């Protein structure tokens, strides 16, 4: 019991490190692409985004350029030829527009509106939810009651009322979708922020006398991101389908900027006459878009969730 | 290991912290209608006074519900006190305004218990350690790198790994990152809240040695909060024992172990398993630790105390100096 | 002490439990052997990652996939439990061999009353007992672990007990069928010191009075020092040293045991630097070739690249080391 106790060197070699530092993002990518279904859905989504962005470049015809469209081509079946020798791959609609081109442009509008409204709603909802969680007390109570009231109304009802007041137009519909969606983001991020706020690293930041702003945006917010990312994806799909519904009902987007919903609505008159393709193909496109977004969102939720328990 | 000087670094005077669970609207209505529902008040810290001399290590010991973590957090500036005063280097912190108090509290830093939850998982180590010094002007953004390397070496971490994320380190290393983060703002006072409880025994030894080295090198003062009496005995000059929100005994370490005064201290020291005691005959103290929501009247310990008298149930014992530098809160001392 | 002439209650021979994970095979238990006699309390000590809890689970057959007991024998009264059909294992579990967990809520169902759970335990192994008798036995078991007012407590739900009380109820449930062996996996780690003292007292009383054997799994050497008769130290999935408690704690042979004892603040080490074992425990996925401890060992040399076998350098002590000796000149804390 009387051996000398040496002053050993205290620098430790961290032996269990991976050879290359793997950032959280790299880890996330590895986990995400493990699911074949989600990877396929992701690829489809990339394809859809590509189409949406490059629509003017890849469409065979600009369906809103009246010089290219002729009423004589109306309601032609898929695969039929037009006078130039080009093919209407998916046929034409009631006004003679090439359906494929119309769908590409429609995807562009649908996706654009959905994503824009999703992002804006997220920014507003996240800021409000974070404030509610961080300040707590009365601020939290008031904000959450507003959120509860907002969420108790059906989305379509609120959107219809808003659009009846605001009128038609892309910006109006985006406003309506934002107002309908922000509350969901606020509630999600508030739940996450409440959990994170009690963690010791936030206490440490308080102890280090960092400003409130810094703590909320640098410490709280990045750690509340995982559920938010999942909600953004799923809500975008929801926004797209909501917009399609509104367009189908005739409110929202004007005819000059038709989304997929409006295309479906336009074709509805011809459904029973046998010209099914006018509604059918835009419908399929909408379905594929929403399903792939949902699949990606599901995998995101699974991948990001266990990590929350770290 | 004796205290350098007798200047008080930090004084806590009659500090209290109450957690109140207010009644919501439904509760208030029920109360008006005559139901028994009450506001629940937990006196987590109930009139605590103590002094921590400069350069010393004061161990704060107690079981669940004793309020030691809450007291530590009030001293570190994380929780605002409900009542009482904290004086640091002669200046009262509680009376300062928000920003001033924060700056003063910067000299008091805290090391947390959970090495997993105490580091922001999305920040690199260099940012975790370097954020506060840059924000408060201890170094500039361009010099942050060198500054962080220096601090990391001081706590025994290899600076080469500063661009990694917390999840890539072991528990012991993470705790060192937490220590580095605290040291980066040049504190003079460290509150260690169960800083080694979550670590393996052999890693605990490394961190304990690190604390002792830092104390020598940087002339730090510690408040070492722990439930592990053997570690506290090893590292502390003075020990404060708390029970259910109140201080029951304060004494220099050697004297506490040689001659524990308060019955709770005696029970605690008796119960602590020690490596040298083989094949013990356990004679445990009776009863459960009471809930802080409903503490016993008078002296909180009286239901479990083998020497309890009627006075103990009625009157709260005051913390009295029973010998130079020794205080105890027990009525039995009055009769002596 | 335990009588060596009677057969041991439990004998583990070269037990191996591997976890087949995506990242590789983790050899959580890799050749563990020990025996526990009647009425003996054995302390199974190790840090996190040493495999001590997995050993406990392997004995009682509670290892879930991707883990699997891949080798060795667990002889309970001569019968090998490894590979025993599920139905027979179920009859033993909770009946002749019981387990207490670190978190009592792993034993207690939060939505059932305590008496329901205890009666269920009794009836599961002996359907012939009447409900009255079962309740009486439950009441006695609660009294045996020192729970006051057992009649009232029987009708309570687990959430109405404090942490220490819940652990006592869990111990009472383990006791109900008067098992021959109790495996306790860190039962007092999460409890306060005074409550821990109460539990240790009950455990000690139990083993002395009923002759039940106990395996007490913990990382706390001090608890084992006070409670156990013999000790088994584990590192990297293997037993590195075992023997009678006083022998091992006063004269440790294996460098890891010596290092561990040096790391614990002792009665006389106040203010001095503690011995620190350099480095850290290896990951079970990538144990080094040969001795698992060589990277951190002051005695390590090339001989350690060959896996050390168990030797008996001192009578009654089994050590797994390439250089087992009680060298007093070595610079290691003890």
Query: Cα–Cα distance between A191 and A147 in angstroms, integer?
Result: 13
Chains A, C: CB contacts within 8 A come to 32
Inform me whether the C-beta atom of residue C246 falls under 8 Å from chain B C-beta atoms.
yes
Look at residues A87, A236, A241, A85 and name the one whose alpha carbon lies nearest to residue A156: A241
Name the least confident of A197-201, A260-264, C119-123.
Answer: A260-264
Characterize C98-120 residue by residue with b for buried, 16 or more Cβ atoms within 10 angstroms of its Cβ, and e for exposed.
bbbbbbbeebbeeeeebbebbbe
pLDDT averaged per 10 residues in sequence order, chain B, 336 residues: 56 88 76 79 89 92 87 89 88 76 82 90 90 90 92 90 86 91 93 88 88 91 90 92 92 91 89 78 75 84 87 87 89 75
* 3-class SS of residue A95: coil
First to last CA, chain A: 42
Q: How confident is the model over A32-61, as pLDDT tens digits?
A: 888 889 899 999 999 998 888 888 888 777
Mean pLDDT computed over C293-318: 81
pLDDT score of A17: 43
pLDDT score recorded for residue B191: 94
Which pLDDT band, with edges at 50, 70 and 90, does C334 fall under? very low
Mean pLDDT of the C212-225 span: 90
Nearest neighbour of C283 by CB, restricted to A8, A10, A16? A16
More confident residue, C17 or B40: C17
pLDDT at A4 over 50: no
Query: Phi/psi of residue B15, each to 5°?
Result: -80, 140
Pick from C147, C266, C173: nearest CA to B201: C266
Q: Among residues A293, A299, A264, which one has the least CA distance to residue A49?
A: A293
Q: Is the model's pLDDT at A250 over the cut of 60?
A: yes
Helix and strand totals (H; E) in chain B = 12, 12
Task: Kindly tell me the number of DSSP H helices and DSSP E strands found in chain C.
Answer: 10, 12
Q: Specify if B170 maps to a domain.
A: no
CB C162 within 8 A of CB C174: no
Reported confidence tier of residue C327, pLDDT bands at 50, 70, 90: low
Nearest Cα to Cα of residue C120 among C103, C101, C140, C95: C95
User: Is the complex ipTM more than 0.90?
Assistant: no
pLDDT band at A12 (very low <50, low <70, confident <90, very high): very low
Range of lowest pLDDT (A16-20, A76-80, A234-238, B264-268): A16-20
Minimum Cα–Cα distance from B186: chain A residue: A208
Residues of chain C with C-beta less than 8 angstroms from the C-beta of A4:
331
pLDDT of residue B185: 92
d(CA C48, CA C34): 20
Of A5, A9, A12, the CB nearest to C262: A5
Q: Which residues of A217-233 are buried (b: 16+ CB within 10 A; e: fewer)?
A: ebbbbebbebbbbbbbb
pLDDT top residue among A302 and A203: A203
* Interchain contact, B167 vs A310, CB within 8 Å: yes
Number of compact structural domains in chain B: 1
Q: How many CB atoms lie within 10 A of CB B94?
A: 17
> Taking CB atoms and an 8 Å limit, are C201 and B276 in contact across chains?
no
Distance (Å) from the C-alpha of residue A141 to the closest C-alpha of chain C? 30
Q: Which of C118, C69, C70 is nearest to C98 (CA)?
A: C118
Test B78 with A24 for CB contact under 8 angstroms: no
C232 or A264, which is more confident? C232
How far apart are alpha carbons C281 and C235 in whole angstroms?
8
Chain C residues 186-215 within an 8 A CB cutoff of chain B:
192-198, 200-201, 204
Cα B109 to its chain centre, rounded Å, is 12
pLDDT at C333 over 50: no
Q: Does C328 touch chain A (CB under 8 A)?
A: yes
Q: Which of A58-72, A120-134, A233-247 has the lowest mean pLDDT?
A: A58-72
∠ CA A258-A259-A264 to the nearest 5 degrees? Answer: 95
Using CB atoms, which residue from A200, A210, A211 is nearest to B112? A200
List, in sequence order, the alpha helices (H) in B155-306: 171-183, 201-218, 229-235, 253-258, 263-271
What is the average pLDDT across A52-81? 77
Please name the residues between 167 and 206 in chain B that touch chain C, using a CB distance below 8 Å.
Answer: 170, 172, 200-206
How big is chain A by its Cα radius of gyration, in Å? 26
- Angle of helix A221-248 versus helix A155-166 axis, rounded to 10: 70
pLDDT for the residue A19: 40
C280 interfacial to chain A (CB closer than 8 Å):
yes
Domain boundaries, chain A: 35-52+97-308
Question: Contact B283/C201, CB-based, under 8 Å?
Answer: yes
**Out of B318-322, C155-159, C298-302, which region has the weakest mean confidence (pLDDT)?**
C298-302
What CATH number has the domain spanning A35-52+97-308?
A: 1.10.3720.10
For residue A226, the model assigns a pLDDT of 80
pTM: 0.81
Chain center to CA of B21: 24
Residue in C closest to A10 by C-alpha: C278
Residue B306 has phi, psi (to 5 degrees) of -70, -15
**Any idea what the Cα angle at residue A71 is, between residues A67 and A72, rounded to 5°?**
115
Structural tokens at position B167: 């999840």
HEC secondary structure over A240-306: HHHHHHHHHCCCCCCCCCCCHHHHHHHHHCCHHHCCCHHHHHHHHHHHHHHHHHHHHHHHHHHHHHH
Residue B125 covered by a domain: no
State the smallest CA–CA distance between residue A21 and chain C in angstroms.
Answer: 17
Q: Do C267 and B276 touch (CB under 8 A)?
A: yes
3-class DSSP assignment, residue B78? coil
d(CA B330, CA A8): 45
Chain A neighbours (≥3 Cβ pairs under 8 A) are B, C
Higher pLDDT, C146 or A8: C146
C230: nearest CA in chain B? B279
Chain A CB contacts of B105 below 8 Å: 207, 209
Of the candidates B50, B42, B185, the one whose C-alpha atom is nearest the C-alpha of residue B106 is B185
Tell me which long-range contacts A191-195 makes (C-beta under 8 A, separation of at least 24).
A191/A227, A192/A223, A192/A224, A192/A226, A192/A227, A192/A228, A193/A129, A193/A130, A193/A133, A193/A134, A193/A220, A193/A221, A193/A224, A194/A133
Contacts of A6 in chain C (CB under 8 A): 331
Angstroms from B206 CA to nearest CA on chain A? 8
State percent of chain A over pLDDT 70: 89
Q: In the prediction, which pLDDT does B103 show? A: 74
**List of chains touching B (3+ CB pairs within 8 A):** A, C
Question: Could B234 and C269 be called an inter-chain contact, meaning their C-beta atoms sit closer than 8 Å?
Answer: yes
Which residues pair with residue C234 across a beta bridge?
C239
Chain A hits for B76, Cβ within 8 Å: 207
* Average pLDDT for A117-131: 92
Q: Is B185 on the interface with A (CB under 8 A)?
A: yes
Is B103's Cβ below 8 Å from some Cβ in A? yes
Provide the pLDDT confidence category of residue A257 given band limits of 50, 70 and 90: confident
Tell me C85's DSSP state. -
Does the pLDDT at position A6 exceed 60? no
The predicted structure's pLDDT at residue B228? 85
Higher pLDDT, B6 or C164: C164
How distant is the Cα of B271 from the closest Cα of chain A, in angstroms? 25
B282 touches chain C (CB under 8 A): yes
Query: First-to-last CA distance in chain C?
Result: 25
* Residues on chain A touching C275 (C-beta within 8 angstroms): 5
Compute CA B176 distance to the chain's CA centroid, rounded to the nearest angstrom.
Answer: 18
CB proximity list for A274: less than 8 A, separation 6 or greater: none
Nearest to A14 among B118, B158, B163 (CB): B158
Here the CATH number for the domain that contains residue B213 is 3.40.50.300
- Report the DSSP pairing between strands B221-226 and B57-61: parallel
C30, two tokens = 């890799």
For C159, the token pair is 């959430």
Measure the CA–CA gap between C137 and C119, rounded to whole angstroms. Answer: 9
Interhelix angle C131-144/C163-175, rounded to 10 degrees, is 130
In this structure, of A79-88, B49-58, C153-162, the range with the lowest mean pLDDT score is A79-88
Asked if C265 is an interface residue toward chain A (Cβ–Cβ < 8 A), one would say no
pLDDT in the model for residue C1: 44
> Which residues of chain A are within 8 Å of residue C262 when distances are taken between CB atoms?
5
C260: exposed, middle or buried (Cβ count in 10 Å: 0-12, 13-18, 19+): buried
* Whether A266 contacts A8, CB under 8 Å: no
Say how far apart CA A184 and CA A144 lie, in whole Å. Answer: 11
Chain B CB within 8 Å of residue A16 CB: yes
Residues of C in contact with A5 (CB under 8 A): 262, 272-275, 331, 333
CB-CB under 8 Å, A6 with C331: yes
């Amino acid at each position: 019991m009387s051996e000398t106790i040496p002053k050993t060197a205290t620098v430790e070699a961290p032996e269990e490190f991976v050879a290359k530092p793997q950032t959280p993002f790299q880890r996330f990518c590895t986990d995400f692409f493990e699911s074949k279904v989600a990877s396929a859905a992701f690829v489809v989504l990339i394809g859809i985004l590509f189409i949406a962005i490059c629509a003017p470049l890849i469409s065979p015809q600009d369906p809103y350029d009246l010089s290219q469209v002729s009423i004589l081509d109306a309601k032609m079946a898929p695969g039929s030829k037009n006078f130039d020798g080009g093919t209407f791959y998916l046929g034409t609609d009631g006004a003679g527009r090439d359906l494929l081109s119309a769908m590409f442009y429609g995807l562009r509008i649908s996706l654009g509106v959905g994503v824009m409204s999703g992002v804006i709603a997220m920014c507003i909802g996240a800021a409000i939810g974070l404030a509610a969680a961080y300040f707590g007390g009365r601020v939290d109570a008031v904000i959450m009651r507003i959120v509860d009231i907002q969420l108790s109304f059906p989305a379509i009802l609120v959107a219809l009322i808003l659009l009846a007041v605001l009128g038609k137009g892309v910006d109006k519909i985006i406003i309506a979708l934002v107002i309908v969606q922000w509350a969901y983001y606020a509630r999600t991020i508030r739940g996450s922020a409440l959990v994170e706020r009690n963690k010791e690293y936030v206490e440490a930041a308080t102890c280090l006398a960092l400003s409130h702003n810094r703590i909320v945006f640098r410490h709280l917010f990045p750690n509340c991101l995982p559920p938010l990312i999942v909600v953004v994806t799923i809500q975008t799909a929801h926004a797209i389908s909501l917009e399609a519904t509104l367009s189908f009902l005739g409110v929202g987007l004007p005819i000059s900027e038709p989304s997929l919903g409006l295309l479906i609505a336009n074709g509805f008159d011809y459904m029973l006459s046998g010209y099914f393709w006018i509604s059918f193909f835009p419908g399929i496109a909408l379905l594929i878009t929403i399903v792939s977004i949902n699949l990606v969102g599901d995998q995101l939720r699974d991948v990001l969730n266990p990590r929350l328990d770290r | 290991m004796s205290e350098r000087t007798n200047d008080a670094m930090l004084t806590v005077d009659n500090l209290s912290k109450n957690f109140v669970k207010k009644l919501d609207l439904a509760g208030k209505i029920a109360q008006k209608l005559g139901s028994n529902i009450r506001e629940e008040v937990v006196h987590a810290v109930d009139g605590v006074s103590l002094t921590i001399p400069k350069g010393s290590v004061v161990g704060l010991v107690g079981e669940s519900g004793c309020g030691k973590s809450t007291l530590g957090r009030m001293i570190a500036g994380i929780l605002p006190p409900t009542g009482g005063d904290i004086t640091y280097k002669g200046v009262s912190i509680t009376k300062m305004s928000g920003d001033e108090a924060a700056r003063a509290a910067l000299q008091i830093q805290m090391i947390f218990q959970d090495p997993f939850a105490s580091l922001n998982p999305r920040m690199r180590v260099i940012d975790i350690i370097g954020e506060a010094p840059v924000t408060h002007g201890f170094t500039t953004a361009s010099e942050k790198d060198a500054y962080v390397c220096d601090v990391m070496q001081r706590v025994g971490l290899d600076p080469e790994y500063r661009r990694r994320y917390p999840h890539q380190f072991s528990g012991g290393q993470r705790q060192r990152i937490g220590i580095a983060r605290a040291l980066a703002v040049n504190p003079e006072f460290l509150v260690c809240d169960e800083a080694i409880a979550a670590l393996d025994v052999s890693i605990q030894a490394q961190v304990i040695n690190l604390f002792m080295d830092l104390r020598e090198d940087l002339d730090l003062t510690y408040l070492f909060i722990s439930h592990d009496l053997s570690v506290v005995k090893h590292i502390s000059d003075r020990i404060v024992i708390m029970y259910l929100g109140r201080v029951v005994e304060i004494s220099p370490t050697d004297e506490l172990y040689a001659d524990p005064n308060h019955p709770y201290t005696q029970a605690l020291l008796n119960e602590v398993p020690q490596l040298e005691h083989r094949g013990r005959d356990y004679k445990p103290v009776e009863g459960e630790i009471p809930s802080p929501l409903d503490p016993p009247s008078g002296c909180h310990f009286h239901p479990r105390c083998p020497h309890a008298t009627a006075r103990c149930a009625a009157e709260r014992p005051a913390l009295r100096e029973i010998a130079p530098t020794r205080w105890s809160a027990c009525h039995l001392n009055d009769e002596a | 002490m335990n009588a060596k002439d009677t057969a041991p209650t439990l004998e583990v021979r070269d037990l191996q439990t591997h976890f087949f994970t995506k990242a590789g095979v983790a050899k959580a238990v890799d050749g563990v052997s020990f025996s526990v006699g009647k009425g003996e309390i054995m302390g199974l000590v190790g840090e996190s990652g040493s495999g001590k809890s997995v050993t406990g689970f392997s004995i009682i057959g509670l290892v879930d996939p991707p883990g699997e007991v891949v080798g060795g024998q667990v002889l309970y009264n001569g019968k090998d439990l490894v590979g025993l059909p599920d139905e027979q294992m179920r009859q033993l579990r909770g009946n002749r061999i019981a387990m207490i967990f670190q978190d009592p809520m792993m034993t207690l169902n939060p939505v059932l009353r305590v008496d329901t759970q205890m009666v269920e335990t009794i009836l599961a192994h002996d359907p012939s007992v009447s409900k009255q008798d079962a309740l009486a036995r439950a009441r006695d078991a609660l009294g045996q672990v020192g729970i006051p007012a057992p009649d009232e407590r029987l009708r309570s739900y687990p959430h109405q007990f404090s942490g220490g009380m819940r652990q006592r109820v869990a111990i009472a449930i383990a006791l109900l069928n008067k098992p021959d062996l109790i495996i306790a996996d860190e039962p007092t780690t999460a409890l306060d010191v005074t409550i821990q003292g109460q539990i240790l007292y009950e455990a000690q009383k139990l083993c002395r009075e009923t002759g039940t054997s106990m395996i007490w799994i913990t990382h706390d050497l001090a608890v084992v020092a006070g409670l156990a008769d013999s000790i088994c130290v584990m590192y990297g999935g293997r037993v590195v040293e075992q023997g009678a408690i006083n022998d091992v704690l006063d004269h440790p042979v294996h460098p890891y045991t010596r290092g561990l004892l040096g790391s614990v603040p002792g009665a006389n080490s106040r203010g001095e630097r503690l011995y620190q074992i350099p480095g850290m425990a290896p990951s079970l996925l990538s144990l080094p070739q040969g001795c698992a401890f060589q990277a951190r060992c002051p005695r390590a040399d090339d001989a350690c690249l060959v896996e050390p076998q168990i030797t008996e350098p001192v009578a009654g002590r089994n050590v797994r080391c390439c250089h087992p000796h009680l060298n007093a000149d070595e610079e290691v804390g003890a």
